Amino acid sequence: MFDTDVLIWYFRGNPGARDFIAGVPFKDRLVSALCVMELIQGCRDKKEIKTVKAFIRMNFSAILPPDERISEKAILLLEKHSPSDGLRTVDALIAASAVVNHASLATANYKHFRNIQGLSILKFEAAEM
């Protein structure tokens, strides 16, 4: 599962992000519906929204919406990690999606996720271009 930050690096033209995504087998490329929403929220016009939607459709095998189990897990994660690690609501839902679906989370935002028990992290190094 990919965190929004990796996808933002991709859209900024970062070759490392492109290669990082391509290095994950298509069947294992998951994205939270919340990441898609964050990407769309950052779009400046309908053309960019269309580009984001096409990219998601072509590059990810599934979009995972938050459900009751994910929401319950996210609440527990916020209770434990918000004060100490700065975990925010959307990040908690993304992490919970990965944990509930037994998926690794690919992210450059290691700081907020590093202490979450049961979360496997694929750390992306976002080297500046």
- Nearest CA-CA partner of 55 in 1, 18, 107: 18
* Cα dihedral: 53, 69, 92, 100 (round 10): -80
The two structure tokens encoding residue 119: 């979360």
Instruction: Among 3.60.110.10, 3.40.50.150, 3.40.50.1010, 1.10.10.10, name the CATH number for the domain at 4-123.
Output: 3.40.50.1010
For residue range 45-78, what is the model confidence (pLDDT) as tens digits? Answer: 999 999 999 999 999 999 999 999 999 999 999 9
For residue range 96-113, what is the model confidence (pLDDT) as tens digits? Answer: 999 999 999 999 988 889
61 touches 29 (CB < 8 A): yes
